[in-house]
Homo-oligomer: A and B are copies of this chain.
């Protein structure tokens, strides 16, 4: 009986056209990264679960795909086992998991290979990650991240260059974007001013939700945290800044939280970053977004997020600075800053914008019609010569009816067809058909090569 075909939910097959488009995105990002001197690395799909667990919060731990130990995996379960539920049993039967992002494996890589690396180390990495998330539009269980990070330098020049990289990539892809910037220290300054430094994480999560649920709803939740009325006023004032220019925002922040330790640092960092950015030609819109927190607790300085101006798709690139990512693996004082492009969402944005156009065309240039065994040997020979001249060539493998072979060229968007039957071979002149215009030419071998090149 035939087996049902199908793939795990949340995963996808990519056919030839999708691959051309995806490769276009990957190579665009790769070229920009290389122009800035970033070097590529790759890490294994599987990491030890000790490396991954506890790095993404409780929710993240649940979303890790775990690999069942090979062989007699039950033998490591302590007896009696009746009291073990799934959560308690998992560590005994699964020691490895699929990577959840590229940042934690990178931190592990840096610590493990610290003696081979020259710091500051600028790496990029383009690989799939896996999350057992509930699949929905634009959210997959297997998707690619395209990360770059500079580790071992606290200079804000790095932040400036990353913003420039973001700008370059989206100019190259022809996607107008807004690059939103914030700084974790500003958020900390606000919390400090509110006398709620211990509630920074909760506040951050709530600020991040303003876009989704509105300021009123957020204020209610903030109130529930038990903050004073004064504190609530500060939050409203911060939110009111959203319409202002960058210079005005920085000025108002100075007034509101400039006296707090963290706030002062955050404002100074933002000022320096914008000072650098002013020297550069950034074409896309840049905005300070004080509600931007990205829910990631490891950011300690700059926070970035990029959205398309034309297509509603959520964040298509994001990142920030983390002062202590490698600390958990025993390497302290390694500040890093990085960004990550979401290739799958960028793909979806380009589809909605009709943005792939004719940019992607790597298909076969010419098909040689097969007229039978004897003629096909000549075709093989001719194909060899064309390929040596850099022309992507196919020989139809069967001497099928001409119509079927023409149909194959048509469906595969092959622009030219060569007919080399007994007559043509005798005369050493080949018939070339332009499949778009229908024109036919009689050409000798050299002219054939010139025309097709």
Residues of A within 8 A of B (CB): 2-8, 11-16, 19-20, 22-23, 34-37, 39-48, 50-51, 62-63, 65-68, 70-75, 85-86, 89-90, 93-96, 98, 108-109, 111-113, 116, 118, 120, 122-123, 128, 130, 132, 141-142, 150, 153-155, 157-158, 160-161, 164, 168, 275-276, 279-281, 327-331, 362-364, 367, 370, 376-377, 380-381, 384, 387, 390-395, 397-398, 408, 411-412, 414
Contact = CB atoms under 8 A, between A and B. Distances in A.
Contact of A394 (B37, B75, B331, B414): B37
B96 A8 contact: yes
11 contacts: A2-B329, A3-B51, A5-B112, A6-B51, A6-B112, A19-B41, A46-B65, A118-B412, A120-B398, A157-B395, A158-B397
- Copies assembled: 2
A13 B44 contact: yes
Contacts of A392: 34-37
Contacts of A71: 62, 86
Nearest to A110: B5
B397 A150 contact: yes
A142 B67 CA distance: 14
B15 A41 contact: yes
B35 A393 contact: yes
Nearest to A370: B157
B116 A5 contact: no
Contact of A42 (B19, B111, B122, B164): B19
B13 A142 contact: no
Given A150-B397, A329-B2, A395-B161, A90 B118 contact: no
A190 B55 CA distance: 60
Contacts of A37: 363-364, 367, 392-394, 414
